[in-house]
Amino acid sequence: MNGGTQPKAERAASRRIAGAFLVSAAGAIGFAVTYGLDGGTQWEGVCLAVAFAGLAVGLAVWSRRLVRVGGYVEEHEGFTPPPAEQAMTAAVLHAPDSPTRRWGLLAALGFALTALGVAALFPLRSLLPSDRQRPARSLKDTPWGPGVRLVDGEGRPLRPEDVPADTLVGVFPEGGVDVGDAPAFAVRLDPGRFIRQPAGGHLGGLAVWSLLCTHAGCPVRLYLKGTGRVLCPCHQSSFDLLAGARPVAGPAARPLPGLPVEVGSDGYLRATGDFTSPPGAGFWSRP
Amino acid sequence: MRRRRTVTLPAAHPRRALAAGVVLVLAAGPVALASAPGPAAPATTAPAADLGSRLYLEQCASCHGPQGQGSQRGPSLIGVGPASVDFQLSTGRMPVTQEVQQSSRRPPVFSPEEISALVDHVASFGGGGPQIPRVGPGDVVPGRDLFAANCAPCHGATGSGAVLTNGWIAPPLYDASPTQVAEAVRVGPGLMPAFPSQVLTDRQVDDLTGYVRELRGERLDRGGNPLGRLGPLAEGLVAWAVVLGLLVGAVRWLSRRAGE
Amino acid sequence: MILGSLARALDDRFRLSPITRRALAKVFPDHWSFMLGEIALYSFVTLILTGVYLTFFFDASSADRVYHGSYAPLDGATTSAAYASTVRLSWDVRAGLLIRQTHHWAALAFVAAIMLHLARIFFTGAFRKPRELNWLIGVTMLALALANGFTGYSMPDDLVSGLGLRIITSVVESIPVVGTWLVALALAGEFPSDEMIPRMFVTHVLLVPAVLVALISLHLGAVVRQKHTQFPGPGRTEHNVVGSRLWPSYTLRTLALFSWILAVLFALGGLVQINPVWLYGPFEPAQSTSPAQPDWYVAWGDGALRLFPPWEFRVGGYLVPAPFFPGVVLGGLTFLLLYLWPFLERWRTGDRQLHQLLDRPRDHPARIGIGVCALTFYGLLVVAAGDDILARLLRVPVYDLLTLFRILVLVLPVLAGVLAFLVARALRRGEASSLGELTRADLRRATRPAPRRPAGQDEPEVPDLHRPGQVELWPEGALWRWRYRDDTGQVTLTSNRAVTSREEAVGAARLAYPGVDRAVVPGPPPPPPPGRVRTALRRWGRAAAAGSLLVGLLLDHRRRGGRRGPPPPDPAEPGSPPADEPAGPSGRP
């Protein structure tokens, strides 16, 4: 009886497998056609998926229906070598002319290799910036300084009246819009509401702070008008601008550095110095 | 999948703005209106003004005060400007039946005509404020840049919206009409900063709204289902579901001994 | 024909047939959990295949480039070459987006599969001697996978990944003394440096993949040399492997899995959008977006950064910033503990035995408790990384969620760990065979201290080697085969390959089943392949099933009768002892 059903079952399985492979081929052709017609990402993906799914189904049915699954055993030699075997290997390793016997030479060789290894580390130094500045030094320095004008994102210098109340204006040092640690923002607040004076001072309520969160350096660009707070999108630190930009919630621990500004003789805003402390995340030698 | 939402098309705003302007010019203030419209007033404004004041007294005055002076339950409306009133009403954020911290977008309660009348009525309280912007066609390339600089921090680069502190959210922008976007930019509803013309020119607002309109379309989701444009964690969730469901499931099926 | 002559030609030159024969007969266990690592392997192959295609279009440079193409909002905009080429790849290269998205989905699946594989290895104790080295290799590959995932995610120079890179830079900067130097060494300058993208590119496409390929080879080589572990079961001992042979059944099965993984990943790549960098826009130092999250596999670090309180302090005037603890210390501890786990466990249990048989997870309540505790902890951190998204979906203030998570992340892992410990202990002591059957009484009993000595409790269950059963040997032409049959006659395990002499067959059987009786039989045909029986059962319904069962029983009965005839099984191999007994000692010099 088994003899009668098996070929039949096998034939049925074979038919299914062949069918699946045909579907796969159809998918592949479909992909080629879709590509040729520029049919778009979705159709390309579907066709390829069908092609591989056909393969998968065919192979899976094959592996389950037409070949023997399971029921085999393989012996495992184990990994504890007999002591005699170990002794033989050791004897080969420590033969009379074996280098392992010449301790002095080995020590000298080791010394040479260590020296080479250490020497090989030296070129790694070239990966450092070419300006040969201490990295902490460049973190502390920003393009801001006395007399640097404040410009907006398109490089236009800003006058005090360009910063109205209830808005946040991103400001940059003139000529340094792309510098990583330079971005700052200007807001105009009611001076009467200041609980603590802004670190960089203010011009009738107009104050400028570093845009970079003191936690991990993301731009704290989310300004909650009216509350006088800015929020960092990365880890939700929030800073109270009315209280000297000190952190009030979230993981940030230090207030935002302020930027001292004045109105220049040309009527444009300009910095009178660098940030009151290095902007962005903290580091070991940060003052 | 982001739902395909029905977008309430704004009524012809230029016309409404024009009407508001006419009313403002003609009616110097509530007093002037109240003291029996003179023969100089065009006949068409009278019903609109009536409608506006009636609706205002019915729906708004209980919180904002009969003259828009505000109360403990609602802020003053003097000087908020037509753009603000139109934004709040046309997005259905006002009126609210109970005090809420931040009302969210709903189908508008009032028809465009009623909104227009209310805008005029609130404008009659005086105080100026931003007008309803007329949105022209904008260039999406500078618009994208402006959006990334000014809007993406809160509303997300994909426009999907994000959470702020204390339960406030920056809403998704997919339902907002260009005029509503421009109004929000100028007015700064709620916690949102305002962007007056010193900060963004009219041209820039046009570019910005043009980009938001582009962002709203599903044409940009070239890669397939955008998963709400929520970013990597949503993608991670899908990846885990697929790995556990389709791959581990397949492995279990494959490994089941056919003979058992 | 051609294949045959090619094979002969190769064999003439390299004499491959003995190796090939042995390799093709290698036995793989049939339990599904042994294929989790293969999901990772094939995801990696997919990553390489799609990744190579991407390198032809990606321009790893931060130089300015004007994008011109069909993505209107960026048409004519000046961005970095890396970003512009990624947008071009996504919008203007045919099938480029499909390959890019598939690559990214494969990366997510790759790490997920590694995690699952790691969890399986951990909970079943597969890392114990002799496989500690493979555990170390595996953990290293996990670390490399995370690193490569991160560089790959960061290379397009889009706004979201730029924020992530800025965060990682800040975390590295927070390392005392050397932090700023490490950043300078990696980036050749301050954070948005021009060198950043080319260096990440070389790391991503050359350095790490090369190391990964080498480690994968070692990993698999060790599996071949040391052979698979297996779960305890009838006929399975510390000295054998039971399952399917590499050829043909496992080959077909694993190729089916590979195809299926490709199918799933391409379906995802075509239908579900991932990392739409064109929407995010290019990275600008002053721009940000929210919600801002990393890919899920580094999200635990991001979650820790969110949850850790704003604590920082100064050591002798020098600052130790807040990200140091959740970023560097947590990450370092995580991998340190992963690396050390096999040795810590050995030190704790004093177990220096070789283990080829796996634990069931319940066999080690302490291990499962610690594992569940750790998984809950990292799972919570990943969820915490989405606290802003959750806050929005649940409409609760984000800082309330933050406080909640700060408490949960300390409390919930401990609770989950203790619960897992108790459940495992209850399962081990009670009669319940699965979670569903567990009663409250079982759990209550589990809270009481162990009735046995705790030292003995960690001893893994040694399967009964002296369970009666029989090894049968028979000649097949010039070759010899053997098989194992257990008492009940339900389990018959055939030797995976034929050998040339009886001595060899006896040696193999003796290795696989030490102390089990052996007998020479005339040579019964192997039982019909179970696969076909099942097909028949399905096709022909219950009647046919009953019929075939009856036939099977009859055949079985007759076979037993026949076996009992010539060689009586009970006395210790009366038919073969002269050849058999000396075979053991003489086989080993």
Chain A from 216 to 245: CB within 8 A of any B CB: 219, 221-227, 229, 231, 233, 236, 238
Indicate whether A220 and A85 sit together in one domain: no
DSSP A243: B
Would you say residue A75 has pLDDT above 80?
yes
Using a CB-CB distance cutoff of 8 angstroms, which residues of chain B are in contact with residue C32?
248, 251-252, 254-256
- A133 domain-assigned: no
- A227 domain-assigned: yes
Using a CB-CB distance cutoff of 8 angstroms, which residues of chain A are in contact with residue B222?
40-41
Indicate whether A283 and A187 sit together in one domain: yes
Minimum Cα–Cα distance from C383: chain B residue: B233
Position B78: which residue type? Answer: I
Give A101 to chain B, closest Cα distance, Å: 53
Predicted local confidence at residue A234, as pLDDT: 93
Would you say residue C158 has pLDDT above 90?
yes
What number is the average pLDDT over the span C195-200? 95
Query: Last residue of some domain: A127, A157, A181?
Result: A127
Indicate yes or no: CB of C276 within 8 angstroms of CB of B223. Answer: yes
Would you say residue C304 has pLDDT above 90?
yes
**Structural domain containing residue A171:** 139-287
The token pair that represents A10 in the structure block: 């096998």
Indicate yes or no: CB of C279 within 8 angstroms of CB of B240. Answer: no
The token pair that represents A149 in the structure block: 């004008």
Residue of higher predicted confidence among C471 and C571: C471
Q: What are phi and psi of C171, to 5 degrees?
A: -65, -45
Would you say residue C561 has pLDDT above 60?
no
Predicted local confidence at residue A209, as pLDDT: 97
Indicate yes or no: CB of C272 within 8 angstroms of CB of B163. Answer: no
What number is the average pLDDT over the span A99-128? 94
Predicted local confidence at residue B257, as pLDDT: 63
- A192 domain-assigned: yes
Indicate whether A86 and A157 sit together in one domain: no
| C184, C292, C544 member nearest A234 (Cβ) | C292
Indicate whether A149 and A261 sit together in one domain: yes
Tell which residue, A286, B182, A42, has the closest CA to residue C180. Answer: A286
Predicted local confidence at residue B25, as pLDDT: 36
Indicate whether A215 and A84 sit together in one domain: no
- A134 domain-assigned: no
Would you say residue B22 has pLDDT above 50?
no
- A263 domain-assigned: yes
The token pair that represents C285 in the structure block: 């130092």
Indicate yes or no: CB of C105 within 8 angstroms of CB of B243. Answer: no
d(C-alpha C410, C-alpha C406), whole Å: 7
Predicted local confidence at residue B113, as pLDDT: 92
Indicate yes or no: CB of A2 within 8 angstroms of CB of C551. Answer: yes
- A132 domain-assigned: no
Tell which residue, C301, C367, C345, has the closest CA to residue C143. Answer: C301
Indicate whether A123 and A148 sit together in one domain: no
Q: pLDDT tens for residues C368-412?
A: 999 999 999 999 999 999 999 999 888 889 999 999 999 999 999
What number is the average pLDDT over the span C1-28? 89
Within 8 A by CB and 6+ apart from A3, the residues are none
pLDDT over 90, % of chain A: 75
Would you say residue A39 has pLDDT above 50?
yes
> Is residue A222 within 8 Å of B154, Cβ to Cβ?
yes
ipTM, 2 dp: 0.93
Indicate yes or no: CB of C531 within 8 angstroms of CB of A69. Answer: yes
Indicate yes or no: CB of B193 within 8 angstroms of CB of A70. Answer: no
Indicate whether A88 and A201 sit together in one domain: no
pTM of structure: 0.88
Indicate yes or no: CB of C293 within 8 angstroms of CB of B233. Answer: yes
Query: Residue C584 CA to chain centroid, in angstroms?
Result: 38
- A233 domain-assigned: yes
What is the pLDDT confidence band of residue C441, given thresholds at 50, 70 and 90?
A: confident
Indicate whether A159 and A28 sit together in one domain: no
Using a CB-CB distance cutoff of 8 angstroms, which residues of chain C are in contact with residue B144?
73-74, 77, 281
Predicted local confidence at residue C91, as pLDDT: 95
Q: What is the CATH number of the domain that holds A283?
A: 2.102.10.10
Q: Which chains touch C (3 or more CB pairs under 8 A)?
A: A, B
Would you say residue C567 has pLDDT above 50?
no
For chain A, what is the domain count? 2
> Is residue C458 within 8 Å of C349, Cβ to Cβ?
yes
> C133-151: buried (b, 16+ CB within 10 Å) or exposed (e) per residue?
ebbbbbbbbbbbbbebbbb
Give A61 to chain B, closest Cα distance, Å: 9
| B157, B221, B243 member nearest C112 (Cβ) | B243
d(C-alpha C151, C-alpha C159), whole Å: 14
What is the pLDDT confidence band of residue C581, given thresholds at 50, 70 and 90?
A: very low
d(C-alpha A31, C-alpha A39), whole Å: 9
What is the pLDDT confidence band of residue A69, given thresholds at 50, 70 and 90?
A: confident
What is the pLDDT confidence band of residue B13, given thresholds at 50, 70 and 90?
A: very low
Indicate whether A114 and A144 sit together in one domain: no
Average pLDDT in chain C: 86
Do the strands C492-495 and C479-486 form a parallel or antiparallel pair, or are they unpaired?
Answer: antiparallel
Chain A from 91 to 120: CB within 8 A of any C CB: none
CA distances from B137 to B92, B144, B205, C281, C396 (A): 25, 14, 10, 22, 38
What number is the average pLDDT over the span C553-558? 52
Among A30-34, B19-23, C64-68, C440-444, the range scoring the smallest mean pLDDT is B19-23
Indicate yes or no: CB of C159 within 8 angstroms of CB of B243. Answer: no
Indicate whether A95 and A170 sit together in one domain: no
d(C-alpha C14, C-alpha B54), whole Å: 99
Residue of higher predicted confidence among B108 and C571: B108
The reply to whether A170 touches chain B by the CB within 8 Å rule is yes
Query: Last residue of some domain: A86, A102, A127?
Result: A127
Indicate whether A108 and A156 sit together in one domain: no
Predicted local confidence at residue C431, as pLDDT: 67
Query: Last residue of some domain: A127, A156, A173?
Result: A127
Among A1-15, A253-267, C362-376, the range scoring the smallest mean pLDDT is A1-15
DSSP B246: I
- A102 domain-assigned: yes
Indicate yes or no: CB of B199 within 8 angstroms of CB of A167. Answer: yes
Q: E-assigned strands of C191-324? A: 240-245, 313-315, 318-320
d(C-alpha C52, C-alpha C185), whole Å: 28
Q: How many CB atoms lie within 10 A of CB A131?
A: 9
Predicted local confidence at residue A77, as pLDDT: 83
DSSP A191: G
The token pair that represents C371 in the structure block: 């594992």
| A63, A70, A222 member nearest B164 (Cβ) | A222
| B141, B229, B255 member nearest C32 (Cβ) | B255
Predicted local confidence at residue C141, as pLDDT: 98
Do the strands C517-520 and C469-476 form a parallel or antiparallel pair, or are they unpaired?
Answer: parallel
Tell which residue, B61, B120, B72, B126, has the closest CA to residue B94. Answer: B61
Q: E-assigned strands of C350-459? A: none
Indicate whether A147 and A123 sit together in one domain: no
Predicted local confidence at residue C557, as pLDDT: 52
Tell which residue, C377, C403, C376, C401, has the closest CA to residue C388. Answer: C401
